[in-house]
A and B are shown apart, each in its own frame.
Chain A
Amino acid sequence: MKMFSEAEARALLEKVIKLSVADEVNATLGGNTAGNVRFALNNVSTSGIVENTQLGVQVAFGKRTGVATINQFDDASLERVVRAAEALAKLAPENDEAMPELGPQKYAVAPTYAQATADITPEYRAQVAADSITPCKSDGLVAAGFLSDSAGFQAFANSKGNFGYQKVTDVNYTCTVRTDDGKGSGWTSRNVEDVRQFDAKSQVQVAIAKAKGSRDAKALEPGKYTVILEPAAAAGLISFMMFGFDARQADEGRSFLSKKGGGNKLGEQVFDPKVTIIADPFSTQAPAFPWDNENVPRTRHPIIENGVVKHLEYSRYWAQKQGKPMVAGVGNLLMAGGTKSTAELIKGTQKGILVTRTWYIRLVDPQTVLLTGLTRDGTFYIENGEIKYAIKNFRFNESPVIMLNNIEELGKPERIAGDESNYTMMIPPMKLRDFTFTSLSDAV
């Protein structure tokens, strides 16, 4: 992949815009090099590198829009992609919700790029696999994991003079360690921009300890329990809830943030006052892209403040229709917490259950954001401030809205990547009362 500098990207995008005869044009250019190594049964199973650069052109004739993309950049290809987008726009029905292009905006640079990650080599990936496998092999354990890393850039320009450029890197590591008798399983994950903040050798020890500690789990009766959710266990429930923050869905009466009789709950106390979640693309701990998918500049702002809903996601069209200011869609979730570690939260717990990971979370009822899912890879019974023994996994049926009204205490937030979420997140470990487990699972 050719890593376009800001000047090179701007030159190419402006050339494309000049080629079009449409009323408006928006061109995007993005590319990355993504490497990975996958291992299972204490062996490397696959590894690869994929390079890709793509140019996308969106044009508008009045309220008719068309999109075409291409991955070649000679003059003939640029001409072809512009004409293809124009042809599609002419075929498309009018969409009266289509919005005009934005004029020039200011985009500050977010700390999403680290050169050390861009410099990762195949040898480094192989070493991560070896560092994960070696301590397992010699200890009666079986490792399966995946490291993926990418480095690239994203740029866009439009016919009204707006332009943005941002470089981005990402490292994502997950590893599952199982005992060779299949009776214990542990998991660990790490997600960072800068690979220097990641160390496979120490990270895998987390999964090893959980695998060994989760052997010979005892069965507890399903029911309501005080739980401590590690950040990785809580992240999947909290990020899922964000589906309900769409302003249009709320205004239309089909979200948990819809109000009886019409309107939405913006400004209302919906959660425990301990809940504060902000968005901030410029966070050094969990940054996000400085613009959203409509190129609106992202800023730092509260989403939930002391339990009060402070932000809903307005598309440009819906904000205009409702007479609301244009605010960008959220790219990260930074949840406030306290200072205690998970271990310290356990120390202060008389009786409870430690959940280290949640899995296969699905929406049961959008009205209440009731979610179901399971615990996985290490669930433990706590008594008198100590982990007493491993317990069998549970299925839960719980709403994050109810859960975030049942907070006993929040610990120190940690960087987490959700299994199935696009947000970068800082999530604290959380001690919650009356968390609902509905059945037992035999799965290890």
Chain B
Amino acid sequence: MDRRDFMQYTGFGLAGLMLPGFGKAVAAETMVSTMDVGAKKAIADTALGAARDAGASYCDVRIGRYLNQFVVTREDKVQNVVNTESLGVGVRVIANGTWGFSATSDLSSASVAAAARRAVAIAKANSKAQTAPVVLAPTPGLGEVAWKTPIVKNAMAIPIKDKADLLLSVNAAAINAGANFVNSTLFLVNEQKYFASTDGSYIDQDVHRIWAPLQVTAIDKASGKFRSRAGLSSPMGMGYEYLDGLASEKHRSPNGVINYAYSYDMVEDAREAAKHAKEKLAAPSVKPGKYDLVLEPSHMWLTIHESVGHPTELDRVLGYEANYAGTSFATLDKRDNKFQYGSDKVTIVADKVQKGSLGAVGYDDEGVKTKKWDIIKDGVLVNYQAIRDQVHIIGQNESHGCCYADSWSSVQFQRMANISLQPGKEAMDVEKMVSGVEDGIYIVGAGSFSIDQQRYNAQFGGQLFYEIKNGKLGKMLEDVAYQMRTPEFWNACAGVCDQRDYRIGGSFFDGKGQPGQVSAVSHGSSTARFNGINVINTARSLG
């Protein structure tokens, strides 16, 4: 099954999110095993030695075992159950001041040493055209260390039957609540990554992620109208315990919409989604104009991702992504001149250690211990996201620790950290925030998204839209999308709810680079208010 087939099978609105190469399919018992650390160290030392002998001034080795499982269903059918495994070694070197990379799936000493020598040969060949040598920020050798996602239940160890039964009960709940169609899927990821470098680090990591998307569709045959509502879960850096559906992790909006924090009740959400999809069929179309928007965390994450996460990636700022994803309006002079990115309510941090998040690891893919740092402080742009060979360009001497490769066979590069809006400092809940809005729209869930190549002009939809009139949440609206210019939007931020409302959302398959790589990243926020935002009506008639 290739990526396109997957999209056809599920029928989800996954366009724009990239799916990784899934590797080879394997039987169930291999999904809970790990490789011996001693064996990995021996392989790594072989590569490091061969690279040094061939003339490398620096070398890092990543031995990766990538396990995925997905279970795909629609209505009362399990459409597919797939286990995949991909194992191999990637060797990156600096020789003559230039990067070289090579990878192999053959873990024999001879093959690993040959890959190291090939990486050095590529570096030397490319060095002839190099105008400036690589400058690598120092990072301490850590010796032998380990890190593991703090999961409670290893999802790979849960029997396939339990997963299929869960999804079929989810689908049944939606159909019983009046849905015409429902798709639900489980994506489970385990990255077993071993990193070693000539700096003296040997890092063993066991990273787990989970995603449980669903989509429910209701149809009015007579009018030919159809409407869908996607699930309100988030992909998480958690184990199977995310699906326990704990009542304590539910956040009920003032109008009864149920959102989820660190535990998801998938059956309940499917039932609610069916009700919402039916309600959408009859909901009135929005009147276009300027509105104050109150944006739920299940919606906010995507706006943060596109309008703050991407423009503050240093490789984009510098022009390395100009031919594909694009550049950035947040140029270096803006940081130097204390650019007012947003209002003083806006503080945004990058964070590679946040528990439960998709981006959390102990160490990044070039052996740097991860951390948390400010990107926007009280509205002012203060920093970017940068890795070892970039930080010198912004006058810093310590990598931010956000280097990642999606496979042993991909070369690691700068990827987005978890980028999150910090909760407001004053006590504020959603009800109080809404009470101050005269003419607004409350938006729940992520929908359609599009942004230009410098991250100025964006348009976002959502899953659920509710009118706010004179401080009260009212009827459901349809056909809503808002358009924004990034700095104006963030400067229109009039308030952020406090810590009690803080939750994370995220992207399981964020694409970047040529050849393309995916990564998973979370974005946290509390519900936030933005004043005077341009809302368009997206209804059209095909005659």
Residues of A within 8 A of B (CB): 34, 36, 38, 40-41, 43-48, 50, 54, 56, 67-71, 84-85, 87-88, 91-93, 95-97, 122, 126, 130, 142, 144-146, 148, 174-176, 178, 187, 240, 243, 246, 249, 252-254, 256, 258-262, 293, 359-368, 370, 372-374, 376, 393, 395, 397, 399, 401-402, 405, 420, 422, 438-444
* B448 x A45 contact (CB < 8 A): no
Chain B positions within 8 Å of A361 at CB level: 450
Classify chain B: how many residues form its interface, as a range.
35 or more
0/1 string, B78-90, CB within 8 A of A gives 1: 1101110000000
* A253 x B224 contact (CB < 8 A): yes
* B8 x A364 contact (CB < 8 A): no
Supplied contacts A253-B221, A360-B16, A368-B542, 15 more A-B pairs, CB within 8 Å: A36-B515, A40-B322, A41-B319, A93-B164, A97-B77, A146-B323, A176-B322, A176-B323, A254-B228, A293-B2, A360-B452, A365-B539, A367-B225, A443-B326, A444-B454
Which of B22-30, B143-151, B360-368, B422-430 lines the interface with chain A? B22-30
- B535 to chain A minimum Cβ distance, whole angstroms, is 11
- CA A373 to CA B458, docked complex, whole Å: 9
* A364 x B453 contact (CB < 8 A): no
Question: With A252-B219, A363-B448 as given contacts, are A438 and B318 in contact (CB-CB < 8 Å)?
Answer: no
- CA A142 to CA B323, docked complex, whole Å: 11
Contacting A at CB under 8 A, from B292-307, are none
Task: Name the residue on B nearest A98 (C-beta).
Answer: B79
- A125 to chain B minimum Cβ distance, whole angstroms, is 11
- CA A364 to CA B452, docked complex, whole Å: 16
Chain A positions within 8 Å of B339 at CB level: none
- B216 to chain A minimum Cβ distance, whole angstroms, is 11
Q: Taking the complex as formed, is B223 at the interface, i.e. its CB lies under 8 A from any CB of chain A? A: yes
Chain A positions within 8 Å of B39 at CB level: none
Most chain B CB inside 10 Å of its own CB: which residue of A36, A47, A67, A240: A67
Most chain A CB inside 10 Å of its own CB: which residue of B129, B160, B318: B129
Task: Name the residue on B nearest A377 (C-beta).
Answer: B453
* A365 x B160 contact (CB < 8 A): no
* A40 x B456 contact (CB < 8 A): no
Chain A positions within 8 Å of B453 at CB level: 359-360, 374, 376, 443
- CA A96 to CA B76, docked complex, whole Å: 10
Task: Name the residue on B nearest A34 (C-beta).
Answer: B515
**21 A-B residue pairings within 8 Å (CB atoms):** A38-B514, A43-B130, A43-B131, A47-B122, A50-B103, A67-B25, A84-B25, A144-B319, A145-B323, A240-B15, A262-B221, A293-B5, A364-B481, A368-B539, A372-B450, A372-B459, A374-B452, A420-B15, A420-B16, A443-B453, A443-B455
> Looking at the complex, which one of A43, A253, A362, A443 makes contact with B456 (CB distance below 8 Å)?
A443
* B542 x A402 contact (CB < 8 A): yes
Question: With A175-B323, A442-B485 as given contacts, are A88 and B538 in contact (CB-CB < 8 Å)?
Answer: no
Task: Name the residue on A nearest B131 (C-beta).
Answer: A43
- CA A34 to CA B321, docked complex, whole Å: 21
* B323 x A40 contact (CB < 8 A): yes
0/1 string, B334-364, CB within 8 A of A gives 1: 0000000000000000000000000000000
* B131 x A88 contact (CB < 8 A): no
Most chain A CB inside 10 Å of its own CB: which residue of B8, B219, B228: B8
- B189 to chain A minimum Cβ distance, whole angstroms, is 18
Most chain A CB inside 10 Å of its own CB: which residue of B83, B126, B454, B540: B540
Chain B positions within 8 Å of A401 at CB level: 542
Contacting A at CB under 8 A, from B1-52, are 1-2, 4-5, 8, 11, 13, 15-16, 24-28
Task: Name the residue on A nearest B459 (C-beta).
Answer: A372
- CA A256 to CA B111, docked complex, whole Å: 53
Q: Taking the complex as formed, is B463 at the interface, i.e. its CB lies under 8 A from any CB of chain A? A: no
Task: Name the residue on B nearest A92 (C-beta).
Answer: B81
* A253 x B226 contact (CB < 8 A): yes
> Looking at the complex, which one of B5, B16, B28, B461 makes contact with A91 (CB distance below 8 Å)?
B28
Q: Taking the complex as formed, is B373 at the interface, i.e. its CB lies under 8 A from any CB of chain A? A: no
Chain A positions within 8 Å of B219 at CB level: 252-254
* B180 x A253 contact (CB < 8 A): yes
> Looking at the complex, which one of A38, A85, A187, A362 makes contact with B450 (CB distance below 8 Å)?
A362
Question: With A364-B481, A399-B542 as given contacts, are A174 and B78 in contact (CB-CB < 8 Å)?
Answer: no
- CA A25 to CA B223, docked complex, whole Å: 45
Q: Taking the complex as formed, is B217 at the interface, i.e. its CB lies under 8 A from any CB of chain A? A: yes
Chain B positions within 8 Å of A261 at CB level: 221-222, 224
Chain B positions within 8 Å of A376 at CB level: 452-453
Chain B positions within 8 Å of A70 at CB level: 24
* A144 x B457 contact (CB < 8 A): no
0/1 string, B438-462, CB within 8 A of A gives 1: 0000000000111111111101010
- A87 to chain B minimum Cβ distance, whole angstroms, is 5
Contacting A at CB under 8 A, from B175-225, are 180-181, 217, 219, 221-225
- B22 to chain A minimum Cβ distance, whole angstroms, is 9
- CA A365 to CA B457, docked complex, whole Å: 20
Chain B positions within 8 Å of A367 at CB level: 225-227
Task: Name the residue on A nearest B320 (C-beta).
Answer: A40
Question: With A254-B219, A256-B542, A293-B5 as given contacts, are A397 and B25 in contact (CB-CB < 8 Å)?
Answer: no
Q: Taking the complex as formed, is B313 at the interface, i.e. its CB lies under 8 A from any CB of chain A? A: no
- B71 to chain A minimum Cβ distance, whole angstroms, is 10
* A36 x B105 contact (CB < 8 A): no
* B540 x A399 contact (CB < 8 A): yes
Q: Taking the complex as formed, is B248 at the interface, i.e. its CB lies under 8 A from any CB of chain A? A: no
* A142 x B542 contact (CB < 8 A): no
- CA A246 to CA B448, docked complex, whole Å: 21
> Looking at the complex, which one of B11, B28, B79, B221 makes contact with A249 (CB distance below 8 Å)?
B11
- A31 to chain B minimum Cβ distance, whole angstroms, is 13
> Looking at the complex, which one of A46, A48, A362 makes contact with B448 (CB distance below 8 Å)?
A362
> Looking at the complex, which one of B319, B481, B538 makes contact with A142 (CB distance below 8 Å)?
B319
Q: Taking the complex as formed, is B238 at the interface, i.e. its CB lies under 8 A from any CB of chain A? A: no
* A95 x B514 contact (CB < 8 A): no
Chain A positions within 8 Å of B221 at CB level: 253, 260-262
Chain B positions within 8 Å of A441 at CB level: 452, 456-457
Q: Taking the complex as formed, is B404 at the interface, i.e. its CB lies under 8 A from any CB of chain A? A: no
* B24 x A442 contact (CB < 8 A): no
* B77 x A260 contact (CB < 8 A): no
- CA A252 to CA B539, docked complex, whole Å: 21
- CA A48 to CA B92, docked complex, whole Å: 12
> Looking at the complex, which one of B4, B227, B319, B454 makes contact with A40 (CB distance below 8 Å)?
B319
Q: Taking the complex as formed, is B269 at the interface, i.e. its CB lies under 8 A from any CB of chain A? A: no
- A178 to chain B minimum Cβ distance, whole angstroms, is 6
- A217 to chain B minimum Cβ distance, whole angstroms, is 13
> Looking at the complex, which one of B101, B217, B321 makes contact with A46 (CB distance below 8 Å)?
B101
Question: With A41-B319, A252-B180, A262-B221 as given contacts, are A71 and B129 in contact (CB-CB < 8 Å)?
Answer: no
* B454 x A443 contact (CB < 8 A): yes
* A50 x B16 contact (CB < 8 A): no
Task: Name the residue on B nearest A80 (C-beta).
Answer: B27
Chain B positions within 8 Å of A148 at CB level: 514-515
Q: Taking the complex as formed, is B114 at the interface, i.e. its CB lies under 8 A from any CB of chain A? A: no
Task: Name the residue on A nearest B454 (C-beta).
Answer: A443
- CA A91 to CA B160, docked complex, whole Å: 8
Q: Taking the complex as formed, is B139 at the interface, i.e. its CB lies under 8 A from any CB of chain A? A: no
Q: Which 7 A-B pairs have the closest CB atoms?
A: A441-B457, A443-B454, A260-B224, A144-B322, A443-B452, A144-B323, A368-B540
* A146 x B324 contact (CB < 8 A): yes
Chain A positions within 8 Å of B99 at CB level: 46
Q: Taking the complex as formed, is B411 at the interface, i.e. its CB lies under 8 A from any CB of chain A? A: yes
- A437 to chain B minimum Cβ distance, whole angstroms, is 11
Chain A positions within 8 Å of B406 at CB level: none
Task: Name the residue on B nearest A436 (C-beta).
Answer: B540
Q: Taking the complex as formed, is B479 at the interface, i.e. its CB lies under 8 A from any CB of chain A? A: yes
Question: With A439-B457, A443-B454 as given contacts, are A372 and B448 in contact (CB-CB < 8 Å)?
Answer: yes
Q: Taking the complex as formed, is B509 at the interface, i.e. its CB lies under 8 A from any CB of chain A? A: no
- B127 to chain A minimum Cβ distance, whole angstroms, is 10
- A60 to chain B minimum Cβ distance, whole angstroms, is 13
- CA A71 to CA B86, docked complex, whole Å: 10
0/1 string, B93-107, CB within 8 A of A gives 1: 000000101110100
